[in-house]
Amino acid sequence: MQQLEQEQVNTLEDYLREPETIEGLGIPVGLVTDMMLRILFNEGDVSLRRFADVMHISPTVIDQQLLRMQQEHLVEVAKAGNIGRSSYIYVLTDAGAARARDAMERTQYVGAVPVPLEVYTQVILLQSEDRAKISSDAVKQSISGLILPDGFHRRIGPAINAGTSIFLYGPPGNGKTTVAQAISKLIAGSDPIWLPRAVTVGGQIISIFDPLIHKAFQLDKRQTDALGSYDHRWSLFERPTVMVGGELTMEALELRFDDSAKFYEAPLQLKANGGMFLIDDFGRQQMRPSDLLNRWIVPLESRIDFLRLRTGQTMQIPFRQLIIFSTNLDPNELVDAAFLRRIQMKVQVESPDERMFFQIFATMCQHMKIPLDKESFLYLLQKWYREPQRMYQSVHPRDILKIVQQLCEYEEIPVQLTPQLIDEACRAYFV
């Protein structure tokens, strides 16, 4: 009970405080020793600074452990510098090499020392509950480049700040993915997040850091100085965004064990914690929507996910990211009511009416430096939309104007709009 009360009063600064002893890392000492042995086994001669750079823990803690390893005759000094122990170069002894081979058999992970899963959980929860709110002005600004219905920002803004879920649906080509990408930039540009590169549970290591997803938050010298000393197993990142489409499989949502390296890679939702997870073209994945429903129906409501190690041990992790489902299929045919009920906001991105279509067309003409000719635009509406009863799509003006531009460049004439060019572009574009 006392431990629980202590956890409840801990602040983010408490969790990020730099450990002064190896026990202060909160993980089995053997994990640290094994990693040092693997570094020596791989590299041969290793300096104190090299250990610190690879393991992301303080040189003081590393020096304490090296002294113990010397006493156990696992390492020895190969070269002594002239500024004390910090300049020593270490190598394995024969006994140390034997231990290193055993350590390599257990896992070949070399990198930042992992943090305990329970500490990771507390830090994610703290940063989810205390994150800065995004203003309505910022939301409006993020989608200002799109022609959308009045008040559209009110459909997505509350869900962005709640960090829960949004279901974007509607006909193709009307900006669902663009809206999702705008939300992603908005979240990434908000307050940064502290994340570890790896966590450990049950003696196993799970790698979280992904260079394609986790972008370092750049601090200036004043901000760096203000941070002072902290646990360098944690780094400050932009809020992460994971975007997947039809390539998503069920395996990507579970822990993946590397049989060669013998450690786990985090699933996508764990990598996205604290940020955003976009499932684009929902319903066209390599798994059935019902499979994803069964996998995520509990996490979407409880905001807790459960992952299983190969040993059979189940671990509980926070499920704290904004989930966006984007589809041009009928939601009622994709998933059942129980799944939709667990998604906070359902946002229809409709096809534009004629007024909005003209706004988009005029905006694209201005952007592409094509003189707007209203007669040609009205001809486009009558001949290619009203007569064939074709649905308007927000993407059409950009695509048609691109073809007009290419036709003019090919003919080496000034870029312009005429009914003849409209006909030629539309015949090439529409099937």
Q: Which two tokens stand for residue 156?
A: 């997505």
> To the nearest whole number, what is the mean pLDDT of the chain?
90
Asked if 335 and 362 sit in the same domain, the reply is no
Does residue 204 fall inside a structural domain?
A: yes
Q: Are residues 310 and 358 in the same domain?
A: no
Residue 336 falls inside a structural domain: yes
Which of the pair, 339 or 88, is modelled with greater confidence? Answer: 88
Whether residues 86 and 128 fall in one domain: no
**42 & 191 share domain:** no
- What mean pLDDT do residues 374-393 have? 95
Give percent of the chain above pLDDT 90: 62
Statement to judge: residues 402 and 265 lie in one domain: no
Last residue of a domain, which of 70, 93, 111? 111
pLDDT tens per residue, range 57-116: 999 999 999 999 999 999 999 888 777 777 889 999 999 999 999 999 999 999 999 999
Q: Which residue has the higher pLDDT, 47 or 290?
A: 47
Among the ranges given (68-72, 147-151, 363-367, 382-386), the one the predictor scored with the smallest mean pLDDT: 147-151
pLDDT at residue 395 greater than cutoff 60: yes
> What does DSSP assign to residue 148?
-
Q: Is residue 258 part of a domain?
A: yes
pLDDT given at position 9? 65
What torsion do the CA atoms of 40, 43, 49, 54 make, to the nearest 10 degrees? -90
The two tokens of residue 419 are: 């009914």
Q: How confident is the model at residue 2 (pLDDT cuts 50, 70, 90)?
A: very low
Instruction: Choose the final residue of a domain: 111, 144, 178.
Output: 111
Those residues whose C-beta lies under 8 Å from the C-beta of residue 188, and which sit 6 or more positions away, are: 215, 238, 239, 240, 241, 275
| 134 and 270 housed in the same domain | yes
Q: What is the dihedral of CA 217, 221, 222, 227, to 10 degrees?
A: 60
For residues 332 and 289, membership in a common domain is answered with: yes
Contact 108, 261 (CB under 8 A): yes
- pLDDT greater at residue 3 or residue 321: 321
Mean pLDDT of 337-357: 86
Give the CATH number, domain containing residue 38: 1.10.10.10
**Does residue 327 lie in a domain region?**
yes
The pLDDT score that the predictor gives to residue 199 is 97
Q: Residue 252 has what pLDDT?
A: 93
Are residues 238 and 159 both part of a single domain?
yes
Instruction: Indicate whether 133 pLDDT > 90.
Output: no
Instruction: Indicate if the pLDDT at residue 1 is higher than 60.
Output: no
pLDDT of amino acid 320: 92
Residue 10 lies in a domain: no
- Higher pLDDT among residues 41 and 187, named by residue: 41
265 located within any domain: yes
Both 38 and 155 in one domain: the answer is no
Q: Is residue 8 part of a domain?
A: no
Statement to judge: residues 204 and 262 lie in one domain: yes
Flag whether 159 is in a domain: yes
Instruction: State which residues form the domain around 385.
Output: 354-429
**What is the C-alpha separation between 420 and 402, in angstroms, rounded?**
15
Are 99 and 145 in a shared domain?
Answer: no
CATH of the domain at 240: 3.40.50.300
Tell me, yes or no, whether 245 and 367 share the same domain. Answer: no
pLDDT tier for residue 392 given thresholds of 50, 70 and 90: very high
Confidence of residue 3 (pLDDT cuts 50, 70, 90): very low
Domain count, the chain: 3
Picking from 348, 371, 387, the residue at the C-terminal end of a domain is 348
Kindly compute the dihedral angle of the four CA atoms of residues 142, 143, 146, 151, in this order, to the nearest 10 degrees.
-150
pTM of the model: 0.86
Q: Is the pLDDT of residue 4 over 50?
A: no
Give percent above pLDDT 70 in the chain.
98
Rounded CA-CA distance 390/406 in Å is 24
pLDDT at 6: 44
